[in-house]
Amino acid sequence: MSGQDGVTELRSAGEHGPVLVGRGLINRLETLLPELVGDKVEQVLIVHQPTLREIAEDVHLRLSSTYRRALLAEIPDAESGKRIEVAEFLWQILGQSDFTRTDVLVAIGGGAATDLGGWVAASWLRGVKVVHVPTTVLAMADAAVGGKTGINTNEGKNLVGAFHLPAGVICDLDVLESLPRNELVTGFAEAVKIGFIAEPEILDLIDADPERATNPASDEFRRILELAIAHKLEVTSNDLTEQGGREMLNYGHTLGHAIEHGERYQWRHGAAVAVGMAYAAELARLSGRLSDADADRHKRVLELLGLPTSYPAGRWPTLLSVMARDKKSRGKLMRFVVLDGIGQPTIMNAPDESVLFAAYQEIAS
Ligand SMILES: NC(=O)c1ccc[n+]([C@@H]2O[C@H](COP(=O)([O-])OP(=O)(O)OC[C@H]3O[C@@H](n4cnc5c(N)ncnc54)[C@H](O)[C@@H]3O)[C@@H](O)[C@H]2O)c1
Ligand SMILES: O=C(O)C(=O)C[C@@H](O)[C@H](O)[C@H](O)COP(=O)(O)O
Ligand SMILES: [Zn+2]
């Protein structure tokens, strides 16, 4: 899939911009960005997390010579950035600089930064261009791709948002060198998710050598990343607004989001989704859909990576009430993504509360 300069360009049939994967890409942003957004742009707003300050300042310098004005905005880290107050701060900057529909927002950071940046771009003037520069494994493999954007509210995760496709996504593998191991591994959970719902090759690569699979310098890591991106692009280009196939990308998220909410967002999204997948596997196994071997494979692969697969027994009543707010619910009916086999995701409609509880007991610690 790689081009001559070592850059892979992944594209989808729809209006999603290209996803570039390679090295040294951020150092070429002043030439890459105009290729993605055209030549009408006068202003850019670069939004970044505190951990990416040095990189963002360098990008700011580069883009200041390309555009009439480059603005730089630092947002609070992680989930504290996905809040309405932070969006208001960015809207204020956009308003005070007369940011127009021909201008572009560049979001640099993990999934929290691309979710917030994407949503501010979606809402400003009802939609300005956004280019994502994801800097975590999770954001490269999942969050920056596919156009889901949003923020949290006190009641739950991502409850406010919009579908807004990026004009491009730039995955510079060099930036992963500074990523702490825990961030790398928890972010990997979303690639594992794609492995279970559609691309078992990802699981085979992890089984064969988990160290190499999670090493951003290895061919295996790049293969996994590109498989995950390509799958997400394909699914979301067929179903941007989650009327059908896209729901499968929510595997492990019904319980996962409830755990994040219950933990006041001190758990990483990927870690919560790992527990959520272990739970969904038990739900499918107890319902006679998934074999014991395939359910056990969830636990094995996740634990090989050092991801959690259990959660305290006493939390069930709260988790159940938060799960009811999941976006897949229809009225009072809860819906879960489960597997009929590896690579065969489907929706389980309105499961009985007794089976939901029984599955939880299988993962309860
Ligand atoms: N829109 C989607 O389709 C989608 C998909 C998956 C997840 N998400 C969202 O993404 C978020 C999780 O993303 P995340 O795991 O990337 O979390 P994150 O954005 O909170 O980043 C995790 C941590 O890593 C730091 N960091 C980022 N890049 C770094 C780097 N290169 N070096 C050192 N530190 C770095 C960040 O500052 C932060 O502290 C959640 O809010 C989740 O809901 C969205
Ligand atoms: O892109 C999607 O669709 C997904 O569900 C990907 C998920 O990994 C991601 O965490 C997403 O933000 C969850 O969406 P939500 O609609 O359940 O908030
Ligand atoms: Zn997710």
pLDDT class of 5 with cuts at 50, 70, 90: confident
pLDDT at 45 over 60: yes
Task: Give all domains of the chain, ordered by start, each with its CATH number.
Answer: 8-179 (3.40.50.1970), 182-363 (1.20.1090.10)
Q: What global pTM score does this model have?
A: 0.98
SS3 content of the chain, % helix, strand, coil (to 5): 55, 20, 30
Place of tokens 């006190």: 154
The bound ligand whose nearest atom lies closest to the alpha carbon of 255 is 2
Digit-coded pLDDT (tens) for 185-204: 999 999 999 999 999 999 99
Q: What is the pLDDT of residue 156?
A: 87
| Residues paired with residue 73 on neighbouring β-strands, in sequence order | 47
Is 48 annotated as ligand-binding? no
Place of tokens 């489960």: 338
Q: What is the pLDDT of residue 1?
A: 47
Is 299 annotated as ligand-binding? no
Query: What percentage of the chain exceeds 70 in pLDDT?
Result: 99
- Is there a contact between 179 and 135 (Cβ–Cβ < 8 Å)? yes
Q: Mention every residue, 6+ apart, whose C-beta is less than 8 A from residue 63.
A: 29, 30, 33, 44, 46, 70, 106
Neighbour tally for 102: CB within 10 Å = 14
pLDDT at 68 over 90: yes
Digit-coded pLDDT (tens) for 217-253: 999 999 999 999 999 999 999 999 999 999 999 999 9
Digit-coded pLDDT (tens) for 135-164: 999 999 999 999 999 999 998 899 999 999
Based on the residue annotation, tell me whether 246 is a catalytic residue of this protein: yes
Residues in contact with ligand 2 (CB, 6 Å cut-off): 142, 146, 148, 157-158, 190, 242, 246, 249-250, 253, 327
Rg for the chain (alpha carbons), in Å? 20
E strand or H helix at 13: none
pLDDT at 2 over 70: no
What is the pLDDT of the chain when averaged over all its residues? Answer: 97
Digit-coded pLDDT (tens) for 86-133: 999 999 999 999 999 999 999 999 999 999 999 999 999 999 999 999
Task: List own/partner pairs for 345-352 with CB under 8 A and 24 or more apart.
Answer: 345/196, 345/197, 345/198, 345/248, 345/251, 346/289, 347/247, 348/283, 348/284, 348/287, 348/289, 351/283, 351/287
Residue 342 dihedral angles phi and psi, to the nearest 5°: -65, 130
Q: What is the pLDDT of residue 155?
A: 87
pLDDT class of 3 with cuts at 50, 70, 90: low
| Residues paired with residue 71 on neighbouring β-strands, in sequence order | 45
Residue nearest to atom 10 of ligand 1 (CA): 111
